[in-house]
Amino acid sequence: MVQLSQLISRTLQVVVVFIAIILALFYSSHKPADPMADPKQSPKPWADGPLPLVKTPMYQTGKDDVFTKGASHMALLHNAILRGYNTIYLQAPHVKPVDYADFIGYSLTWFNFVKKHHDDEEAELFPKVEEIVGQKGALAKAYEEHHTFMEGLVKFHDYLEPLSEQGQETQFNASTLLSIMDSFSEAFCHHFHSEIATIAALSETKTDNKDLAATVGPVFSKWGKASIMRAGLTDVVPFLFLNFDRTAEEGKWANWPPMPAPIRWGLVNVGGFWYSGWWRFSSCGYDGKPQTLYALRE
């Protein structure tokens, strides 16, 4: 029965997203510009710290072979995760009790995405890439690193989930959450940077092989799409879009991931409708531009 109701709710979500796409074809949304100036230039901290973001190898090197591309797209996902960490870390001490429930919902969504991202990498992407490049262990470093922060990440979940499950959100204690986050931040940050370098490094040795290049490209892009779309249209998808900064790297990624504008609109606005209270805490607004962090306003 649980599965049936999940299926129905999922089908419903898909239907509503499609309706939104149709509507979006007829109406264009005019959101007022963020009244606050560029949050990246403001003296208030924004989501590009305390954990530094990754530069995409395409932006850094100007190369565009399959590995550099795969690593760059991975970097964009990683940056959404790093911005997620930063938004939680920076805002936790300033969240008002009335917003605890939404903040916990936002934070658990971040956890769900990180966990899912790793499970998908280990189960599908890494073995496939290693098989194609014909080098078992080519990504061993990335696997090993996953274990260096998993324990801390699970603590993060195990602290927040019961508060939410049992309706005890008022018991939320920012110092407890921050000390858990401090306990894994170093290994976590290291991994999200080093995996990009590990994948990009394959371009040094493997790109002269044309067949290989032709097979590995689709593997990355298919995995990326599936990993995002399987993740939950009402939670992880809006979380991601609202933490992809469309102005990053001089706007190079303004339209990433590539999709028709009405679909993007539907994913963010309609998908985001379910838990709209959560997304106040995201690093970017519905227009994909950086916004001053909600709990640090005024």
Task: Using the minimum distance from each CB to ligand NAG, give the nearer residue, 166 or 175.
Answer: 175
Instruction: List, in sequence order, every residue forming a beta bridge with 284; answer none if it has no partner.
Output: 290
Beta carbons of 247 and 92 less than 8 angstroms apart: no
Task: Provide Rg for the chain, Cα atoms.
Answer: 19
Taking the complex as a whole, how short is the minimal distance between the CB of residue 96 and ligand NAG, in angstroms? Answer: 14
Task: Using the minimum distance from each CB to ligand NAG, give the nearer residue, 28 or 175.
Answer: 175
Taking the complex as a whole, how short is the minimal distance between the CB of residue 175 and ligand NAG, in angstroms? Answer: 4
Taking the complex as a whole, how short is the minimal distance between the CB of residue 181 and ligand NAG, in angstroms? Answer: 12
Taking the complex as a whole, how short is the minimal distance between the CB of residue 174 and ligand NAG, in angstroms? Answer: 8
Task: Using the minimum distance from each CB to ligand NAG, give the nearer residue, 180 or 284.
Answer: 180
Return the residue nearest ligand NAG (CB atom): 173
Residue numbers of the site for ligand NAG (CB under 6 A)?
Answer: 173, 175-176, 179
Task: Using the minimum distance from each CB to ligand NAG, give the nearer residue, 179 or 276.
Answer: 179
Taking the complex as a whole, how short is the minimal distance between the CB of residue 173 and ligand NAG, in angstroms? Answer: 4
Task: Using the minimum distance from each CB to ligand NAG, give the nearer residue, 51 or 92.
Answer: 92
